[in-house]
């Protein structure tokens, strides 16, 4: 119970990595505000996790300041305070660079990057009045390597890791630690259809993954728990990569036929 008496806000909690992190936080004793734009799935997760601990779902589009501020205010009113923020909500859109429209670029940046600023500021102001807290932002290996069709996504994630570093310095005097997680390829709704329907894509990803398996939400949740807990009390400003060893690989690996 490493998060006993803690309150966490998790964005993008209705699916994938956010859902796995919220579940892990609840199992470790935290009370959790589940935030997502998908109200139906958000309420399903709320029902599921209510059997384990105290949670409440808050519908919110994380890219709009009025909704973010109202959500943080409602979460504080419901739980009394916030100790942990996991800014995780995100979208991935694939476009050839020359076909990427201004509207799609703005949409990805607003949802993935601006949301980290908006939630970080709203929750950070609250944490500053309490003398501390922990903020974790969901980045990606796209910060250090990317694909030509993911330019907006890569820009948003590069921005998140830079913003994380700047926030960590600016908020240190308030006792707030700020870190990011950079997942590799994690099997979630974000990429499930692409990965499961296409054996060639899957094998190509495995050939770039020394641990020779795709990641699960729980692989990221373990890192989030570490960064949320006092075990990481002297860690701030970092992006921790949970990528199956990909970032250090400078060639491709043979993938066994069985995989």
Would you tell me which residues interact with ligand NAD (CB under 6 A)?
Answer: 12, 14-18, 36-38, 60-63, 88-92, 111, 138, 140, 183, 185-186, 188-191
64 is an active site residue: no
Compute the least distance from the CB of residue 94 to ligand NAD, in Å: 13
**110 vs 174, which CB is nearer to ligand NAD?**
110
The catalytically annotated residue of 153, 234, 241, 251 is: 153
**172 vs 204, which CB is nearer to ligand NAD?**
204
Q: How far, in Å, CA of 129 to CA of 200, rounded?
A: 52
Q: How far, in Å, CA of 103 to CA of 142, rounded?
A: 21
Q: What sign has the CA pseudo-torsion 227, 58, 12, 153?
A: negative
The Cβ of residue 116 has, within 10 Å, a number of other Cβ atoms equal to 28
**172 vs 259, which CB is nearer to ligand NAD?**
259
Q: How far, in Å, CA of 22 to CA of 16, rounded?
A: 10
> Cα separations (Å) of 208 from 31, 91, 136, 213?
37, 23, 26, 10
Q: How far, in Å, CA of 186 to CA of 16, rounded?
A: 9
Alpha helices in the chain (DSSP H): 16-27, 39-50, 65-79, 102-108, 115-130, 151-171, 192-196, 199-206, 217-228
Q: How far, in Å, CA of 199 to CA of 101, rounded?
A: 30
Q: Strands 31-36, 55-59: parallel, antiparallel or unpaired by DSSP?
A: parallel
CA nearest neighbour of 238 among 189, 194, 175, 182? 182
Compute the least distance from the CB of residue 83 to ligand NAD, in Å: 21
Compute the least distance from the CB of residue 234 to ligand NAD, in Å: 25
**7 vs 35, which CB is nearer to ligand NAD?**
35
| Residue 244 near residue 184, CB atoms below 8 Å | yes
**35 vs 134, which CB is nearer to ligand NAD?**
35
- Among all residues, which ones are annotated catalytic? 153
């Amino acid at each position: 119970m490493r998060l006993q008496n803690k309150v966490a806000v998790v964005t993008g909690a209705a699916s994938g990595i956010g859902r796995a992190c919220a579940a892990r936080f609840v199992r470790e004793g935290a009370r959790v505000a589940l935030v997502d734009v998908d109200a139906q799935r958000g309420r399903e997760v709320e029902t599921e996790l209510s059997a384990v601990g105290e949670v409440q779902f808050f519908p919110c589009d994380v890219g709009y300041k009025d909704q973010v501020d109202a959500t943080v205010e409602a979460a504080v009113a419901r739980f009394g305070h916030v100790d942990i923020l996991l800014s995780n909500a995100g979208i991935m859109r694939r476009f050839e660079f020359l076909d990427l429209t201004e509207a799609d670029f703005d949409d990805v940046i607003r949802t993935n990057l601006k949301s980290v600023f908006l939630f970080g500021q709203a929750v950070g102001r609250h944490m500053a009045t309490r003398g501390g807290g922990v903020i974790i932002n969901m980045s990606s290996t796209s910060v250090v390597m990317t694909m030509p069709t993911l330019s907006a996504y890569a820009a948003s994630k590069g921005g998140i890791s830079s913003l994380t570093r700047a926030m960590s310095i600016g908020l240190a005097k308030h006792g707030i630690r700020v870190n990011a997680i950079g997942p590799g390829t994690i099997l979630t709704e974000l990429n499930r259809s692409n990965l499961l329907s296409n054996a060639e894509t899957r094998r190509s990803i495995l050939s770039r993954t020394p641990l020779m398996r795709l990641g699960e939400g729980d692989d990221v949740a373990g890192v989030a728990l570490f960064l949320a807990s006092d075990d990481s009390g002297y860690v701030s400003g970092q992006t921790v990569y949970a990528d199956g060893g990909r970032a250090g690989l400078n060639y491709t690996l043979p993938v066994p036929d069985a995989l």
